Amino acid sequence: MYSWILMLVVLAAMAGAYQIGRQRAIASAGGPTRIKQLHSLPTYYGLYAALWAGLPALMLMGLWIGLQDQIVIGLVTSHLPTEMVAGLSEGRLGLLINDIRNLATGNIVSAEVTPEIQAAADQYNRLNLISQWAMWAVVLAAALAGLAYAWMRTQPRLRARNRVESAFTVILIIFSSIAILTTLGIVLSVLFESLLFFQKVSPLEFFFGANWSPQIALRADQVGASGSFGAIPLFTGTLMVSLISMLVAVPIGLLSAIYLSEYAHRKVRAIAKPTLEILAGIPTVVYGFFAALTVAPFIRDLGMSLGLDVASESALAAGLVMGIMIIPFVSSLSDDVINAVPQSLRDGSYALGATQSETIRRVVIPAALPGIVGGILLAVSRAIGETMIVVMAAGLAANLTANPLDSVTTVTVQIVTLLTGDQEFDSAKTLAAFALGLTLFLVTLTLNVIALSIVRKYREQYE
C-alpha cells in the first residue's frame, strides 16, 4: 500500500522537477525574452530535470520492492534457532517460511504456532516495516539528488533535447526487449524447475513411461503412493483431443472460408463472416462450460441410446467443442491466404472454360496450399495448448486409449491439476507440471516457428 503512495510522490516530484527545470532554464538564459539563447526549448530542460528526478528513484524503488522479500526472508531464516532449521529439506523450510509469512500477515497457519515461529513472524513484520521506511528515505533522497544534479547542469549550452531524446530511445529499447525477457523468463523458469524434476525422475521414464499417477506420499511412512510419471498417456490424450478438434475445424473452417470468399453473395458474407468470428472472441472458459454441461451429456445420452458406452467426460466432447472454437481461426487464416492468390490465376483458369469449383479445387487451393498448411499448423499448436476446455470437459484419468468415447487427460489438464492443489513448491508433483510445461512450450514453439516461416514464405511468393 505504502509503495503506491511513494510511487505517486515520485510522480509528483517529477512534475515539480519539470516546472523547476523549465524555470531554471529560462532564468539561466536571462528571462523569457531571451530563450533563444537556450540550445533547446525550455520544455526539454523541464523534461530533463523530471527524468533525472524520476528515473533513478523509480528504478531504485523497483529494485527494492523486487528484492525486499528475499532479503527479509533470508534475515528471518538466519535468525531462526539452528535446531529448527537444521536437517530440514528445502521443501520443509519453504513450508516453515510460508507459515511465518502467513502468521505475520494474519492468515491461517498450517502448523501450531510455537514461540520461535511467533518471534520470527514478529521479526518479519519489524524488518518489513524498517525496509518500508528505508525505501521511502532512499527513494526520496534519490529523487532529490537527481533534481539537484539536473539543476546544476542546466545552463543555456546544455543540449537538453538530445539528452531527453536519447533517454527516451533507451526507454523504448528497454520496452522492446521485454519480449525477449519474457521468452527468456519462460525458458529459464520452466527449464530450471524441469531440471530439478529430471533429477528426481529420469527423462526416460517421463517421456516413454506409459503409467501416469502423480500421487506422491507427503510423508515417507504413507502407504501405496510412490507416484509414477510416465507421460505417454498425456501425450496420446492431447493428440487425440487435438485430432478430433482438427477434424471438426479444418473442413468446416476451410470450406466456409472458400464459400464466403468465392461464392457467397456480398450480403451473406457481410453477415456470416462476423458471425463466425464471434466464435473467436468467446472466452475459452465459456466453451469449457458448454462442453462440460451441454455437449458431453448430450453425447453420453446419444451414445447410450445407441448402446454405446460413453464416458461422461469423453475425449469426443472436448475435441468437438475445441474444434468449434478453432473454426474461425482456420477460416480467417484460410481466407487471408485464399485472397492472396492473385486474380490472374483465377482468370487464367476461367478463360480455359473451368467451372468455379474446378478453379477453386485445382488452381486456388493448390496455389494457397502452403499458406493453408501453415495456418493449420498454427491451429494445431493452439489445440495442443488449449487449457480450459479440456480442464472442464476432459477427464483426469490418464488412460492410454484410442477410443474417443473414453475419458482421456491432456498435458494442460495435468499442469493445472498438479499446480492448483496445495503443494510444496518443489515436490515432484509441482515440478512435473513444469516438465510438462517445458514439453508443451517446446512443441508449440516448434510448430509456431515452422508455421510462421511457411506463411511468411507464402506471402513473399505473391507479393
Which residues in 87-146 contact another protein (CB under 8 A)?
A: none
- Range in contact with another protein (rule: CB under 8 A) among 142-150, 212-220, 282-290, 396-404: 282-290
Interaction of residue 415 with another protein, rule CB under 8 A: yes
Angle between helices 2-29 and 115-153 (to 10 degrees): 10
Three-class secondary structure of residue 229 per DSSP: strand
Interaction of residue 372 with another protein, rule CB under 8 A: no
Three-class secondary structure of residue 213 per DSSP: strand
Applying CB under 8 A, among 158, 234, 244, 392 the residue interacting with another protein is 392
Interaction of residue 286 with another protein, rule CB under 8 A: yes
Which residues 3-32 are close enough to bind another protein by CB under 8 A?
A: 4
Q: Where are the alpha helices (DSSP H) in 87-114?
A: 90-104
Which residues 246-275 are close enough to bind another protein by CB under 8 A?
A: 251-256, 258-260, 262-264, 268, 272, 275
Angle at 338 between CA 332 and CA 339, to 5 degrees: 90
Contact 53, 145 (CB under 8 A): no
Strands 212-213 and 228-229: antiparallel
Interaction of residue 292 with another protein, rule CB under 8 A: yes
Binding mask 187-206 for another protein (x = CB under 8 A): --xx-xx-------------
Nearest to 145 by CA among 64, 56, 62: 56
In angstroms, rounded to a whole number, what is the distance separating the alpha carbons of residues 326 and 330?
A: 6
Which residues 30-59 are close enough to bind another protein by CB under 8 A?
A: none
Applying CB under 8 A, among 84, 144, 186, 243 the residue interacting with another protein is 186
Considering the complex, what minimum distance in angstroms separates the CB of residue 289 from another protein?
A: 5
Considering the complex, what minimum distance in angstroms separates the CB of residue 273 from another protein?
A: 9
Applying CB under 8 A, among 246, 333, 376, 384 the residue interacting with another protein is 384
Applying CB under 8 A, among 9, 11, 444, 450 the residue interacting with another protein is 444
Type of residue numbered 298: F
Which residues 305-324 are close enough to bind another protein by CB under 8 A?
A: 324
**Which residue is listed with cell 477427464?**
395
C-alpha cell read off for 304 = 447410450
Contact 16, 49 (CB under 8 A): no
Applying CB under 8 A, among 14, 49, 290, 296 the residue interacting with another protein is 290
Angle between helices 266-281 and 315-340 (to 10 degrees): 130
Which residues 336-355 are close enough to bind another protein by CB under 8 A?
A: 342-355
